Structure 1
Amino acid sequence: MRICMLLDAAYPTDIRVAKEARALVDDGHTVFILSRAVDDRPQREEVDGSVVVRRQLANSEVNRGLGGVVRGLVDLVTDVRRVWVDEAGSLVELEGIDAIHVHDLPLANTGLAIGDEYDIPVVLDLHENWPEAVRQYRAGHSPRNFLNPRYVASRLTTPIVRLKRIERQAVRRADRVIAVVPEGRDHYIYDCGADASDVFVVSNVVDLDTFDGEADPVPGYEDQFVVSYVGTLGGGHRGLDTVIRAVPHVVDDVPSLRIVIVGDGSDYKRELERLTADLGLENVVEFTGRVPFDDVPKYVAASDVCLVPHRDNGHTATTIPHKLFQYMAVRKPVIVTNVAPLGRVVDETESGLVVPAGDVVAMADAIQRLSDDPALCDRLGENGREAVETKYNWAVESEHLLDMYRDLERETAPSAQEVASSP
């Protein structure tokens, strides 16, 4: 099939999108990725076999002047971004696109409008429970954001109740829906009313061909017991404040303890830095900031234990981060919270310890237990590596995506009677 992906971001930046595009190309499909323009990248180029088409598509770029304001209002009311419809429509006509693959909810109705206009199927790839993700991010925003008129307008025009309505309607209309975990699939079926036969799971597992599970550790941590978190610091639902609050309960018994938080974020990172200072833990808790993706395996390799301390909510309960499987690929024991997808995977694979979300004492006890028992750390780490080698890897998981497209291709292929009757 000739597939047009819609990505409301710069590309290549998203691990999930890159993995899916490569898998589809390797299976014989032709993939176009329509994404936002990037200053230093060409408008059209080939990346790992996919054709990336970059255009000025951000609302701030296209909705300028009086005409732009009117266009923006129409887009807002209909939840369909006409500039995306026009650009994707050009690709459909010029390249003979057979299917639209939409990444995440904000472009769902836009993708569905393209599908309706050109009578082609639409795949809705929901990386997360978008309404609940927005709820969590907004909860962590600084009050000073309300001084920004654009932010206020966004809050007023996209309340959570509207986002949930868009989600329900979109998953019912799409030809196929992709969830990240079985818990997410259940949400789209039972909470949103999607047809169970149309909802598939393609998880955020590790690609062992591109992620270096044997990386050399970043230097400087040789004499420390390193407990790390690697990833975006995008909001309080990450649960890292629980980890920092746990440190005073365990640092006297583990004097070599070093908490290393790798990644960046705005408001929540500042909140964590203030908490660290208030508790006098600047010599124990380190914030590295953003690091190149190629350095991520090196920080994981330097760690003794790795963390996914999510709080339990509608967002975290219906998705799972790449980082869990990346940790496992480097043979690191993990501490995760009892959020459904995390607890399910770690319990099944016996790759780490599961603690109640938000429980400071339980987090401290888990760190203490692993510090006291190197043999347990080794066993849990080896279990994790075995799990990603045999099940939780992209070579296995990508077959779910490819099977879905094979099924869609059979469903949309013209019948022999239609072929015979065509001029």
Structure 2
Amino acid sequence: MNLIISHDKEETIDGVHIIPLPFFKGRIKRILIKPILAFIYALKLRSNLYHFHDPELMPVGIMLKLFGKKVIYDVHEDVPSQIMDKHWIPPYLRYLVSMVAKGVEKFGCLFFDGIVTATPYIKNKFLKMNKNTIDINNYPLMTELVGTKCEGKRKNKIEKIICYMGAITRERGIAELIKAVEGTDIKLYLAGTIAPRNLLESLKNEEGWRNVTYFGQVNRNKAFSILSKAQIGVCLFHPIANHLNCLPNKLFEYMAASRPIIASSIPYWKKLLGDLESISFVDSLNPEKIRSAIQALISDQEKCHSMGQNGLKAVKEIYNWRSEEKKLIDFYKSLGVFSSCIEVSRGV
């Protein structure tokens, strides 16, 4: 298997051959130049199957099809809806850009051999454009179930620490979260990339930043190590169009670490996960309610433990990669290929 991503060197990790693309400064270069390089590298590999997931690589997928290759488009998000909330696109252009993206997706689906989506909602949308569509949830690996290890690291003196892992943006509730810990003795651990770049300086000016320990972008092992020190995992996405039908991986990663969760009161999340009794849902736009939810949970260690165990049990029994892996392998087999495939990806 070959993986084409932005990386600092060519190497093989766990049997996966990484073909590095350069890191481009600036969105325009990334969108215009990186797909060209990805196409050249991909074509040289002469693989049986090409599996890509970045929308800007749509032209690459179409070109590969024109060269007679089998191509799968992996859809993580509702891109047209996502564009409507992009801060770097002028508001008066967002609808037009969204419609163009929708048209390109629809056109591309006429070519692709299959579509893999991240949620049932996106699957139902793409089934109208390509009948060979399946949803594959990106649940944690069984080897990443670290709940027992995390439990073993708990101390007699409980530190009040909450944790957020993933992309850090205003749309994902970072401002409200920092405001929620302001003036308290609660520590906030952050791991991930802050975007846009000027947001970091803005956040550092907030009084609540003194409660923050920012680790930057970390690998998965480091992420779980950070999470093992926290009592609660948080995921406070704003209820904007692109978030209403998404299903963040971090929810299941928190569960895998046996951590109780405070999450946005998004109807789709509540419908799917509300009965697990592992998540406290709050208004993600209200710092006071977020603070109250954190303090209520962190002061009740018995409830914290119970919710954490409920989440861990759910991941062990349902929300793990084992069943999804079989679905993906069967999907590859249905296309007549399996052993020689690549994924074209921008990476994390």
TM-score bucket of the superposed structures, by smaller chain? 0.7 to 0.9
User: CA shift at 1:339, angstroms?
Assistant: 2.7
Where does the alignment leave 5 or more consecutive residues of structure 1 unmatched? 1-30, 64-71, 142-150, 411-423
State whether residues 61 and 112 of structure 2, in contact with CA within 8 Å, keep that contact through their aligned partners in structure 1. no
Task: State the AA in 2 paired with 1:312.
Answer: P
State whether residues 178 and 209 of structure 2, in contact with CA within 8 Å, keep that contact through their aligned partners in structure 1. no
Task: State the AA in 1 paired with 2:53.
Answer: H
SS at match of 2:244: helix
Partners of 2:212 and 2:155 in 1: how far apart? 14
Partners of 1:269 and 1:390 in 2: how far apart? 39
Where does the alignment leave 5 or more consecutive residues of structure 2 unmatched? 338-348
Q: How does 1:24-423 map to 2 (within 5 A)?
A: 31-36=1-6, 38-39=7-8, 41-42=9-10, 45-54=11-20, 81-92=35-46, 97-118=47-68, 120-136=69-85, 138-139=86-87, 141=88, 159-189=97-127, 193-195=128-130, 197-210=131-144, 212-215=146-149, 223-233=158-168, 235-247=169-181, 256-265=185-194, 266-274=197-205, 276-277=206-207, 281-409=208-336
State whether residues 218 and 301 of structure 1, in contact with CA within 8 Å, keep that contact through their aligned partners in structure 2. yes
Determine which structure has more spread, i.e. the larger CA radius of gyration.
1
SS at match of 1:409: coil
Q: Deviations over 1:192-213 (max 9, x none)?
A: x423x42211112111314644
Match of 2:341 in 1: none
User: CA shift at 1:86, angstroms?
Assistant: 3.7
State whether residues 78 and 122 of structure 2, in contact with CA within 8 Å, keep that contact through their aligned partners in structure 1. yes
SS at match of 1:289: coil
SS at match of 2:241: coil
Q: Deviations over 1:138-166 (max 9, x none)?
A: 41x5xxxxxxxxx99xx89x933322322
Task: State the AA in 2 paired with 1:198.
Answer: N
Residues 221 and 294 of structure 1: is their aligned pair in 2 closer, same or farther, counting only changes over 3 Å?
Answer: farther
Give the TM-score of the pair, scaled to structure 1.
0.67
Residues 57 and 267 of structure 1: is their aligned pair in 2 closer, same or farther, counting only changes over 3 Å?
Answer: closer
Size of the aligned set, in residue pairs, is 329
Partners of 2:285 and 2:23 in 1: how far apart? 39
Partners of 2:225 and 2:249 in 1: how far apart? 16
State whether residues 278 and 307 of structure 2, in contact with CA within 8 Å, keep that contact through their aligned partners in structure 1. yes
SS at match of 2:140: coil
User: CA shift at 1:229, angstroms?
Assistant: 1.0
Worse-superposed segment, 211-220 or 224-233: 211-220
Partners of 1:104 and 1:289 in 2: how far apart? 23
State whether residues 163 and 230 of structure 2, in contact with CA within 8 Å, keep that contact through their aligned partners in structure 1. yes
Q: Deviations over 1:110-162 (max 9, x none)?
A: 112211222x32110122233444543x41x5xxxxxxxxx99xx89x93332
| Identical counterparts, % of pairs | 20
Task: State the AA in 2 paired with 1:123.
Answer: I
Residues 344 and 171 of structure 1: is their aligned pair in 2 closer, same or farther, counting only changes over 3 Å?
Answer: farther
Task: State the AA in 2 paired with 1:332.
Answer: R
Residues 290 and 88 of structure 1: is their aligned pair in 2 closer, same or farther, counting only changes over 3 Å?
Answer: closer
Task: State the AA in 2 paired with 1:331.
Answer: S
State whether residues 153 and 229 of structure 2, in contact with CA within 8 Å, keep that contact through their aligned partners in structure 1. yes
Match of 2:344 in 1: none
- Tell me the C-alpha RMSD between the 2 structures: 3.4
